[in-house]
Amino acid sequence: DKGDYEYFMLKEIYEQPKTIEETFRGRLKSDYSEIVLGGLMNVFPKIEAAQRIIIIGCGTSWHAALIAEYMMEEYARVPVEVEYASEFRYRKPVINSNDVVILISQSGETADTLAALHLAKEKGATVIGICNVVGSTLARETDAGVYTHAGVEIGVASTKAFTAQVTVLTMIALKLARRKGTIDPEEYKALVKELAAIPEKGRAILEGNEHIKRIAEKYYEAVNALYLGRGYLFPVALEGALKLKEISYVHAEGYAAGEMKHGPIALVDDNLPVVVVAPQDDYYEKVVSNIQEIKARKGNVIAIVTEGDTGLKELANDVIEIPKSHPAVAPLLSVIPLQLLAYHIALLKGCNVDQPRNLAKSVTVE
């Protein structure tokens, strides 16, 4: 039931403050001292002992994996590899019984992800599933797992499942770091608190929907778009571009902002909207200089900025403000305006946002 919403996608975008909360509910202790993941209890010693962790998924789930790579390496100091399931399963990867393989899938039925699971299992790795659909094949065939509690996702474009996946991965990364003693206890607590504050900040972002719609009205006729971000926000740039291309059929590319000079800058002219995820974090100065380079070539910059950033308001053509947050949890916030931007652009172009052409909700064949 779509309720008051015109499309499931919009409903699901709006549900995110609630679904993120559902996903960490009962798993974060109220004094932020502990994270409880019952489903992983038996395998945590294995995760702790792992020489490396391999995270596998497709599409949006693969983007969630990339965010986890950054977080697990930063805080839990364990090497992480992220793989497309479709590549992993065919490329004769080296896997052994000390490896922990995490498979991410909203549906738990994606054919390539299940094949990757079977391969990892065959090689003796510990296999962990993160999925949204209760009782799905992935949930049944993994050694252990954590459900995302996003509720049924109907829109083909994944939105609330993505933020729920990132929420689960954040909890796993922080718990692992705490157990290994690789994170300062105060920082751990601060980060758990930051995660708990996401739903409220998400609500504030959703209040900007009309503003985002007006930005969409300015740019919806563009035939290409570029999305840039650095650090934890590089995967968010990839996800923003995927959302736009799948539902509005506008060609969009996501890039690490630092890679711009190595090719994509050649595309910049006054017809190219460039969405830059640019909150005030450690990368800020570098991202601002990327924006200057785009402006110097007459590109149109839509910047996702920290609330109250007056500097970028002047420099960029349009800004969308998001509340301040810790960089490691910033993806959960900055992806929301990108989902809304894609949604409005697709609507203006007359596309069926819930059921884009050529796509299936769950890719159960190769």
Nearest approach, Cβ of 131 to ligand M6R (angstroms)?
8
- Please identify the residue of the shown chain whose CB is closest to the bound ligand M6R: 59
Nearest approach, Cβ of 120 to ligand M6R (angstroms)?
15
Can you tell me the distance from the alpha carbon of 105 to that of 114, in angstroms, rounded to the nearest whole number? 9
Nearest approach, Cβ of 152 to ligand M6R (angstroms)?
12
Calculate helix-pair angle for 8-24, 160-180, nearest 10 degrees. Answer: 20
Nearer to ligand M6R, 78 or 138 (CB): 138
Can you tell me the distance from the alpha carbon of 156 to that of 164, in angstroms, rounded to the nearest whole number? 16
Residue 180 among the catalytic residues: no
Nearest approach, Cβ of 153 to ligand M6R (angstroms)?
9
Can you tell me the distance from the alpha carbon of 150 to that of 299, in angstroms, rounded to the nearest whole number? 37
Nearest approach, Cβ of 113 to ligand M6R (angstroms)?
5
H or E stretch covering 300: strand 300-306
Cβ atoms of 200 and 249 closer than 8 Å:
no
34 burial via Cβ count (<10 Å: 0-12, 13-18, 19+): middle
Q: Which of 250, 276, 275, 274 is nearest to 353 (CA)?
A: 250
Binding site for ligand M6R (CB under 6 A): 58-61, 105-107, 110, 113, 156-158, 242, 246, 359, 362-363
| Residue 261, both tokens | 């000079």
- Catalytic residue of the set 121, 193, 324, 361: 361
257 CB-near residues (< 8 Å, 6+ apart) = 228, 229, 230, 234, 237, 276, 283, 286, 287, 290
| Residue 100, both tokens | 């922990």
Nearest approach, Cβ of 148 to ligand M6R (angstroms)?
10
Cβ atoms of 114 and 87 closer than 8 Å:
no
Write out the catalytic residue numbers: 361
